[in-house]
Structure 1
Amino acid sequence: MNDVVVDVRNVTIRFNLASEKIDNLKEYVIKVLKRELLFQEFLAVKDASFQIRRGEAWGLVGSNGSGKSTLLKAICGILKPYKGEIIVNGVISPLLELGAGFDQNLTARENIFLNGTVLGHSMDYMHKHFDEIVEFSELQDFLDSPIKNFSSGMRARLGFAIATIVRPDILIVDEILAVGDYAFQQKCLKRMDEMMSGGTTLIFVSHSIDQVRELCDHAVWINKGDIMQVGPVDEVCDAYMESMEKKVAKK
């Protein structure tokens, strides 16, 4: 039986960046129609290859703009590789932007059902898990308040509670633990650990190397789109941190 759940094969992801400044939409449309708009090729990910097996926990490390989030979006199917392919065997639950499906003018109660629908759950399913979501988010006193009055931490708590009521084959988490207090972060880490104990595969992005070391057993270090190292989490994190320390020392 093949236990590879994510197979990234020679993946390159390309964006076209406008090479000239355009101040308004009218000028942009005219240049597009006349085919006068010039673009500069930008490779966000370059020839990336690695395999993730069932039940493993992988961390993606690298500085801002290195291509981590772009690679995650490609694994989720949001972006299509310019070259190469990504084969996914299993159901993905992506936590790329908590609360992205919220309506700011609706209450938390209304948004629980709205966001659940966006994630593909039935009304019956959401009614069944409503109390669990509220208990985890600890927002019992704010259920009938509009989301627009919530802090970013409160929105993150509600979004995480909704997104993790299922136990997916593959859980993808991108920087969501940067929002919220310490207690919330520990609660999220505990839930992710429980999901992994049940066989869920984790792909995790965080600027907290300590969290990566704590949660993951493998890691990928990516720098400006280039895969620098793939392997056991401590080896990759050590190499990445050594590189960052040398970079700081040169300044």
Structure 2
Amino acid sequence: MTTAIEVQGISKQFVLRHTRSLKEAFIWLIKGRKGDLSEKFHALKDVDLMVEQGETVALLGFNGSGKSTLLKHISGVMIPDTGSVRTRGKVAGLIEVGAGFHHDLSGRDNVYLNGAILGMTEAQIDERFESIIEFAEIGQFIDTEVKFYSSGMYLRLAFSVAVHTNPEVFLVDEILAVGDEPFQKKCIAKIQELAAEGRTLVVVSHDLDLVARICERGVVLDHGEVTFDGGIHEAVAKLRGA
């Protein structure tokens, strides 16, 4: 089989600040408080992950486990401190609701902006525009500035643009929790359609029942390390402590 995603030994750490302002830091020093004003948080620790073309994979774990950070590395939003990430084919998806949108532009303008960011040409966007708007169900608001959109409207438009890029690798991070139930069902059906077409799917979600329905493989992370990689039902059981 063809490898769609290859993650080799990646690590990522962030600096956590103990103070919120220069004033607080100055008071800290004046009062003679010892110790560094910051500490390092290891979000990922030497993570390896291979995903074959057409696999449907859920990244699972509790808050702070590193699953969203790993997904951002796969998408290219983040660069690892050490290690490497390689992907094959067009990568698209929703890492954050409204990412790539400009608040002062209309929904129409943002379709073209976001579509271009995700690798579509203007001609391709023209061709798919009506389908994008129809799927998003925001026709009457398409020429309204998106700063006036609700989070649900953001989601519908962002998801619609992403799926219409026809990606080989589709990434989803918790965005289904934002939409209403009818649109969630519509998104899930579209994701299942992409999977049936042989697209590679990587999902981050706390909804274990949902990922068990749409994914075949589960990767469990804990404090930045992979603790389990196998069948989705086994992964869900491990996370639930069964």
TM-score, length of structure 2 as denominator length: 0.89
Q: Which residue does 1:197 correspond to in 2?
A: 196
Please tell me the root mean square deviation across aligned C-alpha atoms, in Å: 2.3
1:20-71 alpha-carbon deviations (Å, 9 max, x no partner) = 425149x89xxxxxxxx85422210112223211111000111112111101
Determine helix, strand or coil for the equivalent of 2:213. helix
Name the structure 1 match of 2:66.
67
Q: Are the counterparts in 1 of residues 19 and 37 from structure 2 also a CA contact under 8 Å? A: no
C-alpha change, 1:105 and 1:89, in structure 2 (3 Å) is: closer
Partner in structure 1 of residue 148 of structure 2: 149
Distance 2:167 2:223 in 1: 30
Q: 8 Å contact 2:93–2:163 — kept in the other structure?
A: no
SS at match of 1:133: helix
Query: Structure 2 CA distance, aligned partners of 1:118 and 1:111?
Result: 10
Structure 1 residue runs of 4 or more that deviate by more than 4 Å after TM superposition: none
Question: Structure 2 CA distance, aligned partners of 1:175 and 1:118?
Answer: 21
| 1:209 CA drift (Å) | 0.3
Give 5+ residue unaligned stretches, structure 2.
27-35
Determine the C-alpha separation between the residues in 2 that align with 1:60 and 1:235: 13
TM-score, normalization by structure 1: 0.86
Deviations, residues 90-133 of structure 1 (Å, cap 9, x unaligned): 22113101322222222222222222223232222211111001
- Look up the SS of the partner of 1:73 in the other structure: helix
Match of 2:55 in 1: 56
Structure 2 partner of 1:34? none
Q: From the superposition, tell whether residues 77 and 112 of structure 1 become closer, same or farther in structure 2 (CA, over 3 Å).
A: closer
Report how many aligned residue pairs link the two structures.
Answer: 235
Q: How far apart in 1 are the matches of 2:8 and 2:117?
A: 30
The answer (yes or no) to whether the contact 2:60–2:218 under 8 Å persists in 1 is yes
Match of 1:97 in 2: 96
1:215 matched to which residue of 2?
Answer: 214
What pairs with 1:30-179 in structure 2 (closer than 5 Å)? 39-179=38-178
**Are the counterparts in 2 of residues 50 and 230 from structure 1 also a CA contact under 8 Å?**
no
Q: What secondary structure is seen at the aligned counterpart in 2 of 1:242?
A: coil
Instruction: Structure 1 unaligned segments of length 5 or more: list them.
Output: 29-36, 244-251
Residue in structure 2 matched with residue 206 of structure 1 by the alignment: 205
